[in-house]
Homo-oligomer: A and B are copies of this chain.
Protein backbone atom coordinates (compact mmCIF):
# COMPACT_ATOMS: atom_id res chain seq x y z
CA UNK A 1 0.00 0.00 0.00
CA UNK A 2 2.81 2.32 0.82
CA UNK A 3 5.58 1.32 -1.51
CA UNK A 4 4.28 2.80 -4.71
CA UNK A 5 7.13 2.83 -7.16
CA UNK A 6 5.65 5.44 -9.46
CA UNK A 7 6.18 8.29 -7.02
CA UNK A 8 9.59 7.57 -5.59
CA UNK A 9 11.62 10.72 -5.09
CA UNK A 10 8.60 12.64 -3.95
CA UNK A 11 8.78 14.53 -0.70
CA UNK A 12 7.34 12.22 1.89
CA UNK A 13 3.65 11.84 2.30
CA UNK A 14 2.47 13.93 -0.57
CA UNK A 15 0.95 11.17 -2.59
CA UNK A 16 -0.83 9.99 0.52
CA UNK A 17 -2.23 13.42 1.21
CA UNK A 18 -3.74 13.69 -2.23
CA UNK A 19 -5.25 10.25 -2.00
CA UNK A 20 -3.70 8.91 -5.17
CA UNK A 21 -2.22 5.78 -3.70
CA UNK A 22 -2.46 2.69 -5.87
CA UNK A 23 -5.48 1.04 -4.27
CA UNK A 24 -5.08 -1.89 -6.62
CA UNK A 25 -3.81 -4.94 -4.78
CA UNK A 26 -6.50 -5.93 -2.31
CA UNK A 27 -5.31 -9.26 -1.18
CA UNK A 28 -4.31 -9.49 2.46
CA UNK A 29 -6.41 -8.87 5.53
CA UNK A 30 -8.28 -5.61 5.79
CA UNK A 31 -6.34 -2.82 7.40
CA UNK A 32 -7.41 -2.19 10.95
CA UNK A 33 -7.38 1.56 10.38
CA UNK A 34 -6.33 4.20 7.85
CA UNK A 35 -3.86 6.97 7.30
CA UNK A 36 -6.59 9.44 8.21
CA UNK A 37 -7.09 7.71 11.54
CA UNK A 38 -3.38 7.83 12.21
CA UNK A 39 -3.21 11.52 11.48
CA UNK A 40 -6.26 12.06 13.65
CA UNK A 41 -4.60 10.24 16.52
CA UNK A 42 -1.38 12.17 15.93
CA UNK A 43 -3.31 15.43 16.20
CA UNK A 44 -4.71 14.30 19.52
CA UNK A 45 -1.27 13.46 20.83
CA UNK A 46 0.17 16.75 19.62
CA UNK A 47 -2.71 18.66 21.18
CA UNK A 48 -2.11 16.91 24.46
CA UNK A 49 1.67 16.78 24.62
CA UNK A 50 2.96 19.23 22.03
CA UNK A 51 5.10 18.57 19.03
CA UNK A 52 8.09 17.51 21.09
CA UNK A 53 5.96 14.93 22.87
CA UNK A 54 4.81 13.34 19.67
CA UNK A 55 6.07 9.82 19.16
CA UNK A 56 5.04 6.85 17.13
CA UNK A 57 4.36 4.61 20.15
CA UNK A 58 2.06 7.21 21.67
CA UNK A 59 0.12 7.56 18.46
CA UNK A 60 -0.14 3.83 18.07
CA UNK A 61 -1.35 3.45 21.62
CA UNK A 62 -4.44 5.51 20.82
CA UNK A 63 -5.21 3.11 18.03
CA UNK A 64 -4.68 0.05 20.19
CA UNK A 65 -1.74 -1.06 18.13
CA UNK A 66 2.01 -1.52 18.34
CA UNK A 67 4.18 1.38 17.29
CA UNK A 68 5.65 -0.42 14.34
CA UNK A 69 2.26 -1.17 12.87
CA UNK A 70 2.09 2.45 11.74
CA UNK A 71 4.94 1.85 9.34
CA UNK A 72 2.62 -0.25 7.22
CA UNK A 73 0.79 2.95 6.38
CA UNK A 74 3.62 5.48 6.49
CA UNK A 75 7.23 5.38 5.41
CA UNK A 76 8.68 7.56 8.12
CA UNK A 77 7.77 9.84 10.94
CA UNK A 78 8.72 12.82 8.82
CA UNK A 79 6.13 11.74 6.31
CA UNK A 80 3.52 11.65 9.02
CA UNK A 81 4.53 15.09 10.21
CA UNK A 82 3.81 16.54 6.79
CA UNK A 83 0.30 15.17 6.97
CA UNK A 84 0.01 16.31 10.57
CA UNK A 85 0.81 19.89 9.65
CA UNK A 86 -1.80 19.77 6.92
CA UNK A 87 -4.39 18.56 9.40
CA UNK A 88 -3.33 21.09 11.99
CA UNK A 89 -3.81 24.10 9.76
CA UNK A 90 -6.98 22.61 8.39
CA UNK A 91 -9.03 23.87 5.46
CA UNK A 92 -8.70 27.52 4.47
CA UNK A 93 -11.17 29.91 6.07
CA UNK A 94 -14.42 30.67 4.35
CA UNK A 95 -14.42 34.26 5.56
CA UNK A 96 -11.76 35.25 3.06
CA UNK A 97 -13.99 34.35 0.18
CA UNK A 98 -16.68 36.67 1.46
CA UNK A 99 -14.43 39.69 1.75
CA UNK A 100 -15.22 42.54 -0.58
CA UNK A 101 -11.71 43.67 -1.43
CA UNK A 102 -8.13 42.52 -1.22
CA UNK A 103 -7.43 44.35 2.00
CA UNK A 104 -10.31 42.77 3.87
CA UNK A 105 -9.43 39.42 2.38
CA UNK A 106 -5.79 39.65 3.46
CA UNK A 107 -6.87 40.76 6.91
CA UNK A 108 -9.22 37.83 7.32
CA UNK A 109 -6.64 35.44 5.96
CA UNK A 110 -3.99 36.54 8.41
CA UNK A 111 -6.35 36.56 11.36
CA UNK A 112 -7.45 33.06 10.44
CA UNK A 113 -3.84 31.90 10.27
CA UNK A 114 -3.22 33.23 13.74
CA UNK A 115 -6.40 31.70 15.09
CA UNK A 116 -5.56 28.28 13.68
CA UNK A 117 -2.03 28.45 14.97
CA UNK A 118 -3.32 29.21 18.44
CA UNK A 119 -5.84 26.41 18.25
CA UNK A 120 -3.07 23.91 17.49
CA UNK A 121 0.10 25.63 18.67
CA UNK A 122 2.30 22.72 17.66
CA UNK A 123 1.89 23.62 14.00
CA UNK A 124 4.38 26.40 14.68
CA UNK A 125 6.98 23.83 15.72
CA UNK A 126 6.64 21.80 12.56
CA UNK A 127 9.69 22.61 10.46
CA UNK A 128 8.84 23.99 7.03
CA UNK A 129 11.11 22.39 4.48
CA UNK A 130 9.20 22.77 1.23
CA UNK A 131 6.64 24.90 -0.53
CA UNK A 132 3.07 23.98 0.42
CA UNK A 133 2.25 20.73 -1.29
CA UNK A 134 -0.54 19.23 0.78
CA UNK A 135 -4.19 19.90 0.00
CA UNK A 136 -5.11 22.21 2.84
CA UNK A 137 -1.92 24.21 2.66
CA UNK A 138 -2.31 24.64 -1.07
CA UNK A 139 -5.87 25.61 -0.27
CA UNK A 140 -4.67 28.43 1.97
CA UNK A 141 -2.48 29.71 -0.83
CA UNK A 142 -5.26 29.45 -3.38
CA UNK A 143 -7.55 31.21 -1.00
CA UNK A 144 -5.06 34.04 -0.60
CA UNK A 145 -4.52 34.38 -4.32
CA UNK A 146 -8.25 34.55 -4.83
CA UNK A 147 -8.65 37.23 -2.22
CA UNK A 148 -5.84 39.29 -3.66
CA UNK A 149 -7.07 39.04 -7.25
CA UNK A 150 -8.66 42.47 -7.34
CA UNK A 151 -5.43 44.12 -6.21
CA UNK A 152 -4.14 43.78 -9.73
CA UNK A 153 -0.67 42.64 -8.74
CA UNK A 154 1.49 40.24 -10.72
CA UNK A 155 2.08 36.69 -9.65
CA UNK A 156 5.52 37.36 -8.26
CA UNK A 157 4.28 40.28 -6.20
CA UNK A 158 1.27 38.42 -4.91
CA UNK A 159 3.38 35.48 -3.87
CA UNK A 160 5.69 37.86 -2.07
CA UNK A 161 2.71 39.23 -0.17
CA UNK A 162 1.68 35.74 0.83
CA UNK A 163 5.13 34.98 2.18
CA UNK A 164 5.06 38.25 4.03
CA UNK A 165 1.76 37.68 5.78
CA UNK A 166 2.46 34.04 6.40
CA UNK A 167 5.68 34.91 8.16
CA UNK A 168 4.00 37.59 10.18
CA UNK A 169 1.14 35.38 11.26
CA UNK A 170 3.56 32.74 12.43
CA UNK A 171 5.64 35.27 14.36
CA UNK A 172 2.68 36.76 16.12
CA UNK A 173 1.07 33.44 16.88
CA UNK A 174 4.34 32.16 18.26
CA UNK A 175 4.69 35.17 20.50
CA UNK A 176 1.11 35.03 21.65
CA UNK A 177 1.40 31.35 22.42
CA UNK A 178 4.54 31.90 24.47
CA UNK A 179 2.82 34.55 26.50
CA UNK A 180 -0.27 32.42 27.02
CA UNK A 181 1.73 29.57 28.47
CA UNK A 182 1.59 30.07 32.18
CA UNK A 183 4.89 28.35 32.75
CA UNK A 184 6.66 30.54 30.26
CA UNK A 185 5.04 33.70 31.57
CA UNK A 186 6.38 33.07 35.04
CA UNK A 187 9.81 32.19 33.72
CA UNK A 188 9.88 35.24 31.50
CA UNK A 189 9.03 37.62 34.28
CA UNK A 190 11.70 35.99 36.42
CA UNK A 191 14.11 36.53 33.59
CA UNK A 192 13.08 40.16 33.32
CA UNK A 193 13.63 40.68 37.01
CA UNK A 194 17.08 39.25 36.57
CA UNK A 195 17.87 41.12 33.38
CA UNK A 196 16.57 44.60 34.03
CA UNK A 197 19.31 45.64 36.45
CA UNK A 198 21.94 44.31 34.07
CA UNK A 199 20.76 45.82 30.83
CA UNK A 200 21.40 49.45 31.67
CA UNK A 201 24.94 48.84 32.84
CA UNK A 202 25.92 46.61 29.98
CA UNK A 203 25.12 48.96 27.16
CA UNK A 204 21.52 48.21 26.39
CA UNK A 205 19.76 51.35 27.57
CA UNK A 206 16.95 51.30 25.02
CA UNK A 207 16.10 47.69 25.61
CA UNK A 208 16.17 48.34 29.34
CA UNK A 209 13.68 51.17 29.02
CA UNK A 210 11.52 49.14 26.69
CA UNK A 211 11.39 46.09 28.92
CA UNK A 212 10.74 48.16 31.99
CA UNK A 213 7.65 49.64 30.44
CA UNK A 214 6.55 46.39 28.84
CA UNK A 215 6.83 44.43 32.06
CA UNK A 216 3.45 45.66 33.21
CA UNK A 217 1.64 44.90 29.99
CA UNK A 218 2.99 41.51 29.13
CA UNK A 219 0.16 39.52 30.63
CA UNK A 220 -1.43 38.88 27.30
CA UNK A 221 -0.87 39.92 23.73
CA UNK A 222 -3.41 42.67 23.09
CA UNK A 223 -5.37 42.49 19.90
CA UNK A 224 -3.90 45.88 19.00
CA UNK A 225 -0.45 44.37 18.69
CA UNK A 226 -1.72 41.77 16.31
CA UNK A 227 -3.34 44.36 14.11
CA UNK A 228 -0.31 46.63 14.22
CA UNK A 229 2.03 44.62 12.05
CA UNK A 230 -0.80 43.54 9.84
CA UNK A 231 -1.72 47.13 9.08
CA UNK A 232 1.88 48.04 8.40
CA UNK A 233 2.15 45.27 5.84
CA UNK A 234 -1.15 46.12 4.24
CA UNK A 235 -0.19 49.78 4.01
CA UNK A 236 3.02 48.72 2.35
CA UNK A 237 1.13 46.58 -0.12
CA UNK A 238 -1.22 49.44 -0.81
CA UNK A 239 1.72 51.67 -1.63
CA UNK A 240 2.99 49.00 -3.99
CA UNK A 241 -0.34 48.76 -5.74
CA UNK A 242 -0.27 52.49 -6.23
CA UNK A 243 3.22 52.31 -7.72
CA UNK A 244 2.42 49.44 -10.04
CA UNK A 245 -0.68 51.31 -11.17
CA UNK A 246 1.17 54.47 -12.17
CA UNK A 247 4.05 52.52 -13.71
CA UNK A 248 1.69 50.98 -16.18
Contact = CB atoms under 8 A, between A and B. Distances in A.
Interface of A: 7, 9-11, 14-15, 18, 20, 125, 127-131, 133, 135, 138-139, 141-142, 145-146, 149, 155-161, 163-164, 166-168, 170-172, 174-175, 178, 184, 186-188, 190-191, 194-195, 198-199, 202-207, 209-211, 213-214, 225, 228-229, 231-240
A130 B9 contact: no
Given A9-B187, A11-B191, A235-B236, A204 B166 contact: no
Given A178-B129, A187-B130, A239-B239, A199 B138 contact: yes
Nearest to A170: B167
State the copy count for this chain. Answer: 2
A50 to B, nearest CB: 10
A188 B232 contact: no
Contacts of A156: 225, 228
